[in-house]
Structure 1
Amino acid sequence: MDATIQKLARYIVDTAFDTIAPEAIHEARRRIIDSLGCAAAASAEPFCLSIKKLAARTHSTPSARIWGTGQETSIEMAAFANGTMLRYQDFSDTVLSRSNGHPSDMLGGLIAVAEAFHSDGKSLLAAVVVAYEIYCSLCASVQMAARGIDQGTAAAAGTAAGIASLLDYSEQQTANALCLVLAANLHLYNVRCGTLSDWKGCGGPNGARNGVFAAMLAREGVTGPTAPVEGKGGLWEILGRFEWDPGGGAVPLICQTHLKLHPVCYHGQSAVDAALILRNTVAASDVQRIEIETYEAAYLAMGQDPGRWAPDNRETADHSMPYTVAHAWITGSLSSTAYETDQLQSRAVLEMMKRISVSAVPELTAAFPANSSTRISVLNMAGSVYTHLQPNPKGNAGNPVSDTELEAKFSDLYRSWGAADSARQLLDFVWTIDKNTDVSTLVDALCIESTR
């Protein structure tokens, strides 16, 4: 095995629940809560229903269940269907570094395997921390998008690593899981360019699905190529030489990931915050012009492409800074209903978007990723200019949501699955999941429709 694979495998097998910092374990619980709420909110979306229908056609032993319906499917398809639900509304977590992504995409796969193999809660929490560490340390090591590689690659690698931890693989099995997953999972960044498609929300969950498959192959003794990072034709040849170094920080990297309070691409969080503040001073009817200044990554993701001024589907709209700012300014909020067809065609929103410009400025770009700041200046009809600089949005690791605020988000998102009392019961379950001896009982609580 090449030295990088050996280093990754050694980190994974050496990391267990009792060796992980308590704050990282707590963040793992918080990521599970956040992700389950996101999945509940998207469960009845037509696209998610079609994915669940597809997943229900597949049967295997062992099996895992589709959240909401309780239908059995393969572990891999449960990873994909459940991961797609929690990702669909773009309300799940984010990592910002040399590469960006949504590490919670992996949780559908990790929970599916934990259910199928009746793992305990401590093992699941440790696996989540390990998976995030592999995912986020890859993102910290190299600019994948600049070389055409998407975040789904990190999801595949992180999921395979998390499963190796969850099922207590040997170092050799773990190394093979990593080799197998890296050799077969270079996802293309094109999925996030131009007019965005359904696959924008599926790429990460598909990476998790493939991570499950690679880990299952390694469990059966299948070997992978021995040098997928450093060897000929490996990642170094594609991405350039980089040092992939998990476990090197003062605390695990899960503690540096960010939660969202708006269902929009993370790069738009601070812009929406700023819009909601400025609308209290300048009403939508009094707006003459809005100038949005942000950092380069936000501009490239949400303000460079002309299509961001004419979004015709949810996937493009929730990655459009002019659309989300205009909608928030006019309505006073940004919820998932903002992406329904009638809202995308709102004359008032479309007219305001024509008066919005977006640019990247050096000072905000230099501060990223430590700070995800946006400055909005609005010119009113009388010629007065009002400006607000929004530093890290609420939910950023430097401006975190409290447990109480996270519970409020979860309870609001959970409504499609049940009443406040059942939401409270599930919250209490996850907060104490380290005391649980079989994660399948967590999934029992998620199979809402099967108990009605």
Structure 2
Amino acid sequence: MSISKSSTMVEQLSNWVSSRRYDDLSKEAIHALKGRVLDSIGCAIGALEEKPVKAIRQMTEMLGGEPLVTLIGGGKTTPDYATFYNGAAVRYLDFNDSYLAKDETCHPSDNIAPVLAASEFVGANGHEFLTGLAIAYQVQCRLSDVAPVRDRGFDHTVQGAYGAAAGAAHAMGLSRFQIAQAIAIAGTGYNSLRVTRTGELSNWKGLAYPNTAMGAMHASLLAKYGITGPKEVFEGNKGFMDSIAGPFHIDWEKEDLERVTNTIIKQYNAEIHSQSSIEGLLELRDRHNIASRDIESIRLTTFDVAFNIIGGGEEGGKKIIRFKEEADHSLPYMLSAAYLDGQVMPAQYEADRIVREDIQQLLQKVDVKPDGHYSDRFPDEMACNIEIETKDGLSISIEKKDYQGFKTRPATWDVLMEKYNELTSKIDRELATKIAETIQNLEEIEINELTDLLGQIKIVEDDQ
């Protein structure tokens, strides 16, 4: 592939996207992609009964639409509506994967919904789906590396608009010209504000990327039908670099499809930067068996990104906790839940758990501060120190640099299956197993074999 140096950046990107093939994927990348799909589908199934997801389902059914693409849990609608609903289900628990750039963190498995919708829409096979998904991962992660936007007041979903459009357009088999238009339209149209994740958090925290992905899917459909977008979306007057990101460069000719292998899986249902501290606190809890009533304080020293986003730093205080969206972005709450309950899973975000006196009291005893040495080690490590001081003066501590699921201790398929089985415990076990086996063999199937199974999901109510 040869890219003209006189072409615009989006044209260079589209040239690269259009030339990617399944054979460009390494065995490691294929394995990682399938693991992220398994993990994300588990998250989606686990979220089907959550109120915002049910509300979006109700809205989607009311809107209707041509039955072209499957909804997880049954029914069909248009590709863009399906992208929003399925993406909301994947994202709502805040339990899907993450990618850590130095100054940006994103959740690239949010791209599964648009690429899956695009693949089903055109009758693609597993090879085409996996290639499109790898493209979406690569584009979003590389833009996160070189063009972070968080400190400029924009959300990490901004880079995702380019990735979701690139992946969906490729999966749909669009031409090189059409891919450029899809990316340009999505990149121009979806630049979300970081207020999504600061201050008093709302349902939108879990819906911002599904909305961006829906827009990227819509942009791909527009491009398919001949609608054009601004070809200088990156470098033009008032474009992405001029208005938001500042100057950057990616030589797409030299890019591979391996960024997915650098993504990490959540062990706990908690914001990604909390994972090592939760694991460390649980190790202290199990080792010393200190009753929560005897704790005077829990002191966490961590890296600056964790402090600023979930520790009470620049994105707001984290000790007034009233509902899920605040709880799963509060280190004091998540650490308290881990210590009191021995885990952090969806159950720890039930409304009656959040307001209970034991956790509300303990989270007030959690102090979080940043450390420059730990900050320098991020994102290669997720370093922190956790110290518990008891009321009688005993002090115990532990230092962590990673957790199970981090890139230095990656989650195996068996570990992912444990999480998947827990999240899918309320659906038919035979169906859950068949979905997992189908995902494990994605490269051998037509994508509608997976979506047909996802459409059969029904929540089995507990008899008790």
Picking from 266, 271, 287, the partner of 1:265 is 271
Partners of 1:251 and 1:176 lie apart in 2 by: 22
* 3-state SS in 2 of match to 1:416: coil
Partner of 1:137: 142
Q: How many residues are treated as equivalent by the alignment? A: 449
Deviation, structure 1 residue 249: 6.0
360 and 247 in structure 1: CA distance in 2 versus 1, 3 angstrom threshold: farther
Structure-to-structure mapping, 1:32-431, within 5 angstroms: 32-61=37-66, 63-68=68-73, 70-97=74-101, 98-238=103-243, 239-245=245-251, 248=254, 252-280=258-286, 281=288, 282-304=290-312, 307-419=317-429, 421-431=430-440
Partners of 1:167 and 1:64 lie apart in 2 by: 13
Gap regions ≥5 residues in structure 2: 1-5
Partners of 2:150 and 2:317 lie apart in 1 by: 20
289 and 66 in structure 1: CA distance in 2 versus 1, 3 angstrom threshold: same
* 3-state SS in 2 of match to 1:357: strand
246 and 383 in structure 1: CA distance in 2 versus 1, 3 angstrom threshold: farther
Partners of 2:224 and 2:147 lie apart in 1 by: 29
TM-score if structure 2 supplies the norm length?
A: 0.93
* 3-state SS in 2 of match to 1:417: coil
Letter of the aligned partner of 2:389 in structure 1? L
Partners of 2:123 and 2:459 lie apart in 1 by: 21
Letter of the aligned partner of 2:330 in structure 1? S
Deviation, structure 1 residue 165: 1.6
Aligned-residue CA RMSD in angstroms?
A: 1.8
Partner of 2:3: none
Partners of 2:247 and 2:185 lie apart in 1 by: 20
Partners of 2:266 and 2:459 lie apart in 1 by: 31
Deviation, structure 1 residue 81: 0.6
Gap regions ≥5 residues in structure 1: none
Deviation, structure 1 residue 246: 5.0
1:299–1:359 contact (8 Å) kept in structure 2: yes
449 and 332 in structure 1: CA distance in 2 versus 1, 3 angstrom threshold: closer
Identity percentage of aligned residues:
27
Picking from 444, 450, 455, the partner of 1:442 is 450
Cα shift readout 1:212-248 (whole Å, capped 9, x = no counterpart): 0111111111111120110101011122111245574
54 and 246 in structure 1: CA distance in 2 versus 1, 3 angstrom threshold: farther
Deviates more, 1:159-168 or 1:28-37: 159-168
Deviates more, 1:87-96 or 1:376-385: 376-385
2:53–2:88 contact (8 Å) kept in structure 1: yes
1:155–1:205 contact (8 Å) kept in structure 2: no
1:75–1:112 contact (8 Å) kept in structure 2: yes
Deviation, structure 1 residue 59: 3.6
246 and 41 in structure 1: CA distance in 2 versus 1, 3 angstrom threshold: farther
Deviation, structure 1 residue 425: 1.5
Partners of 1:352 and 1:54 lie apart in 2 by: 39
Partners of 1:393 and 1:247 lie apart in 2 by: 35
Cα shift readout 1:39-89 (whole Å, capped 9, x = no counterpart): 000011121111111112234446212111x12211111101111111111
Picking from 7, 10, 17, the partner of 1:12 is 17
220 and 418 in structure 1: CA distance in 2 versus 1, 3 angstrom threshold: same
107 and 251 in structure 1: CA distance in 2 versus 1, 3 angstrom threshold: closer
Deviation, structure 1 residue 275: 1.2
Partners of 2:94 and 2:80 lie apart in 1 by: 22
* 3-state SS in 2 of match to 1:56: helix
Cα shift readout 1:184-206 (whole Å, capped 9, x = no counterpart): 11111110110110000000111
Partners of 1:62 and 1:140 lie apart in 2 by: 38
1:27–1:254 contact (8 Å) kept in structure 2: yes
1:58–1:74 contact (8 Å) kept in structure 2: no
2:334–2:344 contact (8 Å) kept in structure 1: yes
Letter of the aligned partner of 2:75 in structure 1? Q
Partners of 2:177 and 2:415 lie apart in 1 by: 42
Deviates more, 1:396-405 or 1:317-326: 396-405
Letter of the aligned partner of 1:433 in structure 2? L
Letter of the aligned partner of 1:273 in structure 2? E
1:417–1:448 contact (8 Å) kept in structure 2: no
* 3-state SS in 2 of match to 1:395: coil
Deviation, structure 1 residue 352: 1.3
2:118–2:168 contact (8 Å) kept in structure 1: yes
Partners of 1:89 and 1:288 lie apart in 2 by: 31
